[in-house]
């Protein structure tokens, strides 16, 4: 089984510096109770989740992920960025935050900064986003199996186990 993270911009139009969380979610569908529910689910998985004060622009984070994937450290880097944003509340739209995450994964932070400045992976990220839109992705996370079957949103281990068993048995035709 192969797991590959692909770019998807849940909130296009967020400026590079990000926006205050309160202004993005004001009057929206995400109530304080929803975030409390997410925190509780995260705690059950051993994650201390903090709602960052800034909703980050993710374009540079997606480009940095491509850099990490090409160096064989994609999953480690995704985990480091998740921790930076959701556990420490850092703005993952900032190059310095991404460089620190990269260095923590054994990647060359200077080379990452250069790649981000040059836009080395910008085209690849846009192609992934285009594919995601064409595939009908509308939420994150979305898990796509064999480009045919999708799970949307945070799911429990049991859900993944059930889907895997059904795929392996042929009950689901992915």
C-beta separation of 8 from 138 below 8 A: no
- Give residue 29's pLDDT: 67
- Give residue 174's pLDDT: 54
Percent of the chain at pLDDT > 90 equals 43
How confident is the model over 53-112, as pLDDT tens digits? Answer: 899 999 999 999 999 999 999 999 999 999 999 999 999 999 999 999 999 999 999 999
Arithmetic mean of pLDDT over the chain:
88
- Give residue 157's pLDDT: 85
Please give the structure tokens belonging to residue 122.
């910008």
C-beta separation of 110 from 96 below 8 A: no
Please state, in angstroms and rounded to a whole number, the distance separating the CA atoms of residues 12 and 121. Answer: 18
* In the predicted structure, residue 33 carries a pLDDT above the cut 90: no
Percent of the chain at pLDDT > 70 equals 95
* In the predicted structure, residue 30 carries a pLDDT above the cut 80: no
C-beta separation of 78 from 65 below 8 A: yes
Which of 5-14, 41-50, 109-118, 147-156 holds the top average pLDDT?
109-118
Max Cα-Cα span within the chain:
48
* Backbone phi, psi, residue 19, to 5°: -135, 150
Please state, in angstroms and rounded to a whole number, the distance separating the CA atoms of residues 154 and 174. Answer: 20
pLDDT band at 1; cut points 50, 70, 90: low
Please state, in angstroms and rounded to a whole number, the distance separating the CA atoms of residues 137 and 8. Answer: 8
Compare 77 and 41 and report the one with higher pLDDT.
77
The mean pLDDT value for 158-173 works out to 84
Q: How many CA within 13 A on the CB side of residue 107?
A: 29
Domains along the sequence of the chain with CATH: 19-134 (3.40.30.10), 141-174 (no CATH)
pTM score: 0.84
For the chain, give the secondary structure using H, E and C.
CCCCCCCCCCCCCCCCCCEEHHHHHCCCCCCHHHHHHHHHHHHHCCCCCCCCCEECCCHHHHHHHHHHHHCCCHHHHHHHHHHHHHHCCCCCCCHHHHHHHHHHCCCCHHHHHHHHHHCCCHHHHHHHHHHHHHCCCCCCCEEEECCCEEEECCCCHHHHHHHHHHHHHCCCCC
């Amino acid at each position: 089984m192969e797991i590959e993270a692909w770019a998807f911009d849940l909130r296009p139009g967020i400026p590079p510096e990000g926006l205050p969380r309160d202004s993005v979610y004001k009057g929206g569908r995400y109530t304080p109770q929803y975030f409390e529910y997410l925190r509780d689910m995260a705690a059950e998985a051993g994650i201390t989740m903090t709602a960052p004060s800034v909703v980050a622009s993710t374009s540079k984070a997606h480009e940095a992920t491509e850099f990490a994937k090409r160096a064989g450290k994609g999953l480690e880097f995704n985990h480091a960025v998740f921790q930076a944003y959701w556990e420490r509340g850092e703005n993952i739209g900032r190059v310095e935050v991404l460089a620190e995450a990269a260095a923590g994964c054994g990647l060359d932070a200077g080379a990452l900064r250069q790649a981000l400045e040059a836009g080395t992976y910008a085209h690849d990220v846009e192609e992934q986003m285009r594919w995601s839109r064409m595939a009908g992705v509308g939420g994150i996370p979305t898990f796509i199996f064999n480009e045919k079957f999708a799970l949307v949103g945070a799911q429990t281990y049991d859900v993944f186990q059930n889907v895997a068993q059904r795929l392996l048995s042929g009950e689901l035709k992915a």
